[in-house]
């Protein structure tokens, strides 16, 4: 009897330890703001935010917009400020067709933008000014180039919030930024992997002229999420923030 009790206790404790480690690993991957976490737990709505980084580009961004329009869905585009000049009509099209526009710094030069808090904030302000020059709107939604992981802490988070900025990382990535030449089927499968039983998704995609295969995969990505009952929304300042786990000192 005693040996049986010890056996039950051993396996019970082992299972609890495994669950604790699993939870720790999940939490270290990304952290969501309390509002989004609560929304995911309590809401039965299924929502996906398609987001495209690193535009505007001449061909691929327009191709993405064509696909979105054909499928009657919208997305959010995080734009690089110094790429707007010469692509003003694309920015106008993004906005006029009901898509969201966010800030992705002015230069996207990693060493420069992450050299200090002030440098990062100034890059976002410059980007916002360029957007305003074209469409007369000054968005405050931002995305860190390469994500906020290990770059965000309580101090610079407060500085960004004091300037009115809201941060949006992602919780699903089809890896087209690192691997733009992956075949469309692989990009599609990566864009849906891990989406099961989740009510809220921010999907990271890219729209530079290297992401031609993303365009080929996009109709199937949209078709999949429609078939699963997801509503496509754009990120606005009312959307609960989502940012990666804050760890250590981010800037100098």
With beta carbons less than 8 A apart as the criterion, state whether 109 and 85 touch: no
| Helix ranges restricted to H, 71-172 | 88-96, 110-113, 117-135, 154-162
The answer to whether residue 206 is catalytic is yes
Q: Which of 176, 206, 209, 245 is catalytic?
A: 206
List of residues 6+ apart from 241 with CB closer than 8 A: 32, 33, 35, 36, 166, 167, 168
Structure tokens at 154: 């309580």
Query: CB–CB of 31/246 below 8 Å?
Result: yes
Which neighbouring-strand residues pair with 52?
77, 205
| Helical spans, DSSP H, in the chain | 2-29, 34-42, 59-70, 88-96, 110-113, 117-135, 154-162, 184-192, 212-227
Sequence-distant (6+) residues with CB within 8 A of 226 are: 71
Residues 225 and 223: their CA atoms lie apart, in Å, by 6
- Going along 125-224, which residue ranges are E strands? 141-142, 166-167, 172-173, 200-206
Between the CA atoms of 99, 221, 145 and 211, what dihedral angle is there, to the nearest 10 degrees? -100
**Annotated active-site residue in 53, 63, 171, 173:** 53
Could you give the CA distance from residue 168 to residue 165 in angstroms, rounded to a whole number? Answer: 10
Q: Give the HSE-up count for residue 172: Cα atoms under 13 Å, Cβ half-sphere.
A: 21
Instruction: Please give the positions annotated as active site.
Output: 53, 206
């Amino acid at each position: 009897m005693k040996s049986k009790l010890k056996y039950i206790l051993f396996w019970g404790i082992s299972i609890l330890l495994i669950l604790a480690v699993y939870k720790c690993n999940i939490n270290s991957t990304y952290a969501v703001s309390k509002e989004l976490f609560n929304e995911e737990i309590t809401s039965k709505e299924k929502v996906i935010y398609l987001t495209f980084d690193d535009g505007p580009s001449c061909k691929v961004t327009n191709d993405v917009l064509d696909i979105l329009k054909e499928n009657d869905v919208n997305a959010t585009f995080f734009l690089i400020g110094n790429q707007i000049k010469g692509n003003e009509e694309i920015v106008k099209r993004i906005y006029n067709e009901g898509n969201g526009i966010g800030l992705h710094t002015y230069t996207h030069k990693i060493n420069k933008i992450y050299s200090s808090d002030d440098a990062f904030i100034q890059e976002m302000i410059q980007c916002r000014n360029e957007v305003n020059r074209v469409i007369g709107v000054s968005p405050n939604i931002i995305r860190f180039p390469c994500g906020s992981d290990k770059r965000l802490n309580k101090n610079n988070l407060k500085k960004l919030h004091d300037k009115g900025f809201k941060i949006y990382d992602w919780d699903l990535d089809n890896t087209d930024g690192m691997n733009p030449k992956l075949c469309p089927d692989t990009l599609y499968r990566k864009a849906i992997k891990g989406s099961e039983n989740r009510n809220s998704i921010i999907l990271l995609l890219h729209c530079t002229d290297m992401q031609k295969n993303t365009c080929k995969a996009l109709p199937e990505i949209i078709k999949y999420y429609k078939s699963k009952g997801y509503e496509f929304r754009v990120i606005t300042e009312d959307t609960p923030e989502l940012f990666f786990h804050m760890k250590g000192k981010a800037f100098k």
